Structure formats: C-alpha cells, structure tokens
Amino acid sequence: MKIDFGPSSFSLPRDGVVHLEDAEGASVICLSGALWLTQEGREDDVILHPGESLRVANDGLTLITALRDGELHIIEPRSEGHELWRRAAALLPDPLSRLLPSM
C-alpha cells in the first residue's frame, strides 16, 4: 500500500502490512492494537502499543505490520514549504536569520 502523505488514520487487521517509502520525518502513532515497525538501514525494530509513536528515520522502506487488529495514524513530515523556508533563511546574513522562526 502506498500512502500519499497527509494525516492518515486507518484500521489494520492482524498481519496487515503498510509499506512507506520516502517518508523520512513522518510520525507513526499506534491508536490501538500493536504495531511492529522495521526500517531499511536500521538494525533495531520497534513494537508500538497504544499511545506510542515513532518518527521514520529515513526515506528507505519502512514496513508496519499489525501484530493484532489495530488502528494507526500517520502524520506527514514537514512540508516542502517549511523546507523552502529553511533554505531561504539559510541564505540570509546571520543577524537577519536569527529574527526568523526556527524550522
């Protein structure tokens, strides 16, 4: 399943799998059930229980598997607009860039 980012909440049956790609910075929140997350390039897997969350560490493949029926919420990473703002602020002289909100 490919997810177009925006806040997404959905149910996932036991053994259901969600594939995330290019999702660095996205937050995965377990609302119910139990979720097993494994991320490309990371040696440690994580199990999330209700109320726990994880931020995706890189743009490689992230697999989310439901260990039991559950619900999850995915929040998109910072928008491209924030990235453009950060890059533009980096071009300003230091005294001016300190006046801008941090991104």
- The answer for residues whose C-beta is within 8 angstroms of residue 83's C-beta and 6 or more apart is 103
What fold does the segment set 1-103 form as a domain? Jelly Rolls (2.60.120)
Name the residue type at position 102. Answer: S
pLDDT digits (tens, 9 = 90+) for 1-46: 455 555 578 899 999 999 999 889 899 999 999 999 999 999 999 9
pLDDT score recorded for residue 8: 76
- Asked whether the beta carbons of 48 and 31 are under 8 A apart, the reply is no
Tokens of 98: 């300190």
